[in-house]
Each structure stands twice: as C-alpha cells, then as structure tokens.
Amino acid sequence: MKNLTNKQLAFFLARITIGINFLMHGIVRLPKLSAFASGLTKGFSETYLPEFLILPFAYVLPFLELALGILMLIGFKTRSALAASSFLIAILIFGSAFKEDWAGVGTQMIYAIFFFLLISKLEHNAWAVDSKVKRI
C-alpha cells in the first residue's frame, strides 16, 4: 500500500467494498434461489408488472450480483462491471418505484451515487487485474 496515492487507496477500498456487497447479495441468495424468486415475484403481485418479466429476472439477479461482485472485487473489466452495476441499479430503482417502495428507491439511489463516483474516478483504479493487464 506504500506505493498507492491517497486517491488510489480510496478508490481501491471503495471498489472492494461495493464488490463484497454485490458478491454477498449473490452468495446468500443462491442457496435459497427458488424462495428468493418466489418472494420477489410475490412482492410485485399488486403491481402492473407481469409475472413473466419478474420471475426470470428474480432467478437471474443473484447470478448477476455474484458475477459483478467478483469483477469489482478483483478489479477486472472494472469500467464495464461498474457500468453494468449502475444499469442493474437503474432497473431495481424502476421496480421499486413501480411498487412505490420509496425507502428502497432511496437506498438504491445511494448505490447509484456510489457507482457514479467510482466511474468518475476510474483513473485511480490501481490494485486491480485491469492495472496488471495494461502493463503486460
């Protein structure tokens, strides 16, 4: 860590923090995937969003979170992983707003801001697979 600037260290810590967050979202949901998908679908039963859209999304979401979490954690394809995560959060915000779950929207907006800041400071991405690949 001696060779990292303060900005590089801050970016590294923020990147691995959000990476762990997404990774754990995926990991804890996978063993109970059917129950998770069923619960998410039930949560949208009072909305106009059709089940044929919700159920497949609910089954895919933990795998997306797991994959994006790993990419962010190791810093591989960081820009793409952060952009995909931002897009995923936008989809989740849409769903939460559709349910009028404004507390959920507020929490997801924090994620959106977090991803905005990481993408805007991507030049500080140091301890990452990306930085090793560029040197080769």
- What phi and psi values does residue 2 have, to the nearest 5 degrees? -65, -35
How much is the pLDDT for 134? 57
How much is the pLDDT for 135? 55
pLDDT at 1 over 70: no
Residue 120 to residue 7: CA distance in whole angstroms: 12
pLDDT at 124 over 70: yes
- Cβ partners under 8 Å of residue 131, min gap 6: 75, 125
> Tell me: the pLDDT tens digits for 6-59?
999 999 999 999 999 999 999 999 999 999 999 999 999 999 999 999 999 999
pLDDT at 133 over 80: no
Q: pTM for this one?
A: 0.92
Residue 122 to residue 52: CA distance in whole angstroms: 37
pLDDT at 2 over 80: no
Please name which of 33, 38, 49 lies closest in space to residue 92, comparing C-alpha atoms. Answer: 49
**pLDDT-derived band of residue 4, with 50, 70 and 90 as boundaries?**
very high
Please name which of 78, 56, 62, 72 lies closest in space to residue 25, comparing C-alpha atoms. Answer: 62
How much is the pLDDT for 132? 76
Mean pLDDT across 99-105: 97
Mean pLDDT across 130-134: 75
CB 12 within 8 A of CB 126: yes
